[in-house]
Structures are given as C-alpha cells and as structure tokens.
Amino acid sequence: MKILVLPGDGIGNEVTAQAVKALRAVTANGPGFEMTEGLIGDAALAVHGDPLPEATLEAARGADAILFGAAGTYESDLLPPEKRGGHGLLRLRKSLDLYANYRPVTAFPELIGASTLRRDVIEGVDLMVLRELTGDIYFGTPRGVHRDDRTGERVGINTMRYTESEIRRVGHAAFRAARLRRRKVCSVDKANVLETMALWREVMTEVGRDYPDVELTHLYVDAASMHLIRRPRDFDVIVTGNIFGDILSDAAAMLTGSLGMLPSASLGEGGRGLYEPVHGSAPDIAGRDLANPLASIMSSALMLRLSFGMEAEAAAVETAVRHVLAEGYRTADIAEPGSRQVGTEEMGDAVAAAIARSRH
C-alpha cells in the first residue's frame, strides 16, 4: 500500500502533516503504509523549474494513492501558466485521468454555530458535489491571450468544451453515488446560454434513463447557487462541470462552517485516487499554526475507504474527528465563544490520540 504524499505550498504542508499522523495512528498495529514524499506546486518550481516535475508524476503513477495538500501562491498565479503552482495540480489530475472529484459537504451538529448561516437552514445538511475534473473551460482549446490584428488590443480566450463521453462517465459516477445515498441527482448547468451545457443536460438526461430508481433534476447554475444557500438539505448529489463545481463547492463549504472542513477524493477508472482538501494554500494564515487540518484528515479517511477498502479504519478517523469536535477542540476558523481554541498541530495530535484510543 504505497502512498505518495504531496504537501505542496502554504498550509498544504501544515495540514498534510496532520493527515499523515492520522494515517499512522490508524495503522499503528497493522501492516502500515509505505509513504514517500514528493514535490508539487511552487515548492517544485523552486527546485525543478516545474510545478509538476517528471519525478513527481512518475511517483504518482507508481503509487496506490496520493495525499495532496495545496498548490500555488498569489505570486506564482501571476507567472505564465506552465509555471503556476496550481497548474501542477491541474496537470496531475489530467495526467492520471481523475475525472470525478467527490466533495462531500456535511454539517456536523457540533459546528452548526460556527456557520454564518442560520441553524434551521443548515441542520442536517448532507450533500455531495461531484465535480467533473478533467474537462470544461479548464482544459478546452483554443486558449490564451493574443493581440487582435485589426484593433491591436489584447484578447483573452478560453473554451468551454465537453465531449459526450466525458459527460456520460461523470454522469454514471453521479448516479452510482446517489444509489449509495438518498437516490437524488441534481445536475447543474447553464444550458439556457451555452451549447456545451445544453449537451451536458441532454447527456445527463440520457444517462438518467439507466437509473429509474434515482430522481434526476436540473438547475441552472445561477439558481443553483441560490437554492444551495436557501434550502441546502434538499440536495443529495449535485453533479456539475469543472468550473461550476469549483465555485459551488467553496460556497457549499460555508454550510459546514469553514472551507477547512471540506475533504475530497479525485478518482478515475482505476483504483488509484488523489485525496485533496478543497481549500488552497491560504497565504493569509500560512506558517502560523492556524489552519484547520480536518479537511485534510477527512481526505485521508476517504483514501482509506475508497483506495484501500479499509472501511473500519476510515470510520475510525471520521469518528475521531467528531470526537474532538464534541470535546470542544476548535481551530480559529470554526471557533466559537467558549470553545477550546487550538492550533493546527494540537488539533492533529488530538485526532491522532482519539484514533489511538479507539483502536486499543
């Protein structure tokens, strides 16, 4: 069981270290994992001049699972695309064909008060954003900035593009996921304006015919963003394209109290998965022991479940997270008056200790 650990940049380093602690704690009495570390993002750019060096990609191909932190900084975001830290992550996802990004959004009872939203709106929220991850305007060509011959002004171009088969495979993934949940899929698109999205809706409807036991609804993305905040409990699986999924999931994070609470799993056809918190490198808090490590720790639980079939261990990690929250441990982003405010390390230690206690 080989795990490649790619901490990346900023708080990626801090939170990933806590997830590694959790993985070690949960396998303390078993065969354990072979964990190696690699470079990605700005950290890789600094050493190799490339945010996704060949050595990292090779190591990823040779691993059974990858634990990723965060990539990019505001500085490298201004460089040409091939030098941006975040593009290392985009290339990793694309190279491994990890087209289905599962982003579960769960409002824990312990954190209802940490959200900016009202208790009666978010209580019981349990949904999954399934974001297509290897297509859309992120990868479509033509793209770039060029100077218009006639007017002499600069023009920026990106292309929203999906093939029918790309839509179909993530559609099937959505319906399969819904069968393990509450049997509802809401497909989110912009079919009223964009041809790509009209095709998206058509193909989702076709796929849905294979799953008569699952309810399929459609929403335009603008309305979906509103319904997500207004009546979040109604959603089960939300399936959407790469760009809409990116945006909707950060918004959905606030249903849980913090972006630091959203884990994710990026999967393709094989068993190998990439496990990544939804948040980024958070330059505003990086290096100060302030980051919430629970998104990364819960991503490692998804790894145990989905890449290694270790359901008991996955549940042990998730239970430990709930346990420390019930004990009142809170990082700054989810702190409330009267809670026990701790740093990244202490939160990670508390989760690891709770795992260790539960495994004895």
Specify binding-site residues for Mg(2+): 222, 246, 250
Does residue 310 touch ligand NAD according to CB under 6 A? no
The Cα 5–Cα 300 span in angstroms is: 11
Among 10, 12, 38, 86, interactor with ligand IPM by CB under 6 A? 86
**Pairing between β-strand 2-8 and β-strand 34-37 as defined by DSSP bridges:** parallel
Give 29's strand partners.
none
Q: Helix crossing, 242-253 with 221-230: angle to 10°?
A: 20
309 Cβ contact partners less than 8 Å away, ≥ 6 residues apart: none
- Amino acid identity, residue 133? L
Q: State which residue, 140 or 343, has the beta carbon closest to ligand IPM.
A: 140
Does residue 177 touch ligand IPM according to CB under 6 A? no
Q: State which residue, 204 or 259, has the beta carbon closest to ligand NAD.
A: 259
Shortest-Cβ-distance residue relative to ligand IPM: 86
Shortest separation between residue 281's beta carbon and ligand IPM, angstroms: 8
Does residue 92 touch ligand IPM according to CB under 6 A? no
DSSP 145: E
Does residue 297 touch ligand IPM according to CB under 6 A? no
- How many residues interact with ligand NAD (rule CB under 6 A)? 25
Q: State which residue, 79 or 121, has the beta carbon closest to ligand IPM.
A: 79
Return the beta strands (E) in the chain as ranges: 2-8, 34-37, 65-70, 100-106, 126-132, 144-147, 154-157, 184-189, 215-220, 237-240, 265-267, 273-275, 329-330, 340-341
Instruction: Determine whether 222 is an active site residue.
Output: yes
Does residue 285 touch ligand NAD according to CB under 6 A? yes
Site residues (CB under 5 A) for Mn ion?
Answer: 246
Does residue 171 touch ligand NAD according to CB under 6 A? no
User: Site map for ligand IPM, 208-247, x if CB under 6 A?
Assistant: --------------------------------------x-
DSSP 154: E
59-62: Cβ within 8 A, 24+ apart: 59/4, 60/4, 60/6, 60/92, 60/95, 60/96, 60/274, 61/96, 62/2, 62/4
Instruction: Determine whether 77 is an active site residue.
Output: no
Catalytic residue among 138, 211, 275, 329: 138
Q: State which residue, 72 or 348, has the beta carbon closest to ligand IPM.
A: 72
Annotated binding site for substrate: 93, 103, 131, 222
3-state secondary structure at position 65: strand
- Can the peptide bond before residue 109 be classed as cis, meaning omega within 30 degrees of 0? no
Shortest separation between residue 52's beta carbon and ligand NAD, angstroms: 12
Among 7, 12, 72, 104, interactor with ligand IPM by CB under 6 A? 72
- Do 293 and 143 touch, CB atoms closer than 8 A? no
Shortest separation between residue 292's beta carbon and ligand IPM, angstroms: 16
Does residue 292 touch ligand NAD according to CB under 6 A? yes
Does residue 205 touch ligand NAD according to CB under 6 A? no
The encoded tokens of residue 247 equal 């945006």
Annotated binding site for NAD(+): 280-292
Among 15, 25, 89, 294, interactor with ligand IPM by CB under 6 A? 89
Q: With 0-12 CB in 10 A as exposed, 13-18 as middle and 19+ as buried, what is 317?
A: buried
Catalytic site residues? 138, 190, 222, 246, 250
Residues that bind ligand NAD (CB under 6 A): 11, 15, 70-74, 77, 86, 89, 258-260, 276, 279-285, 291-292, 295, 333
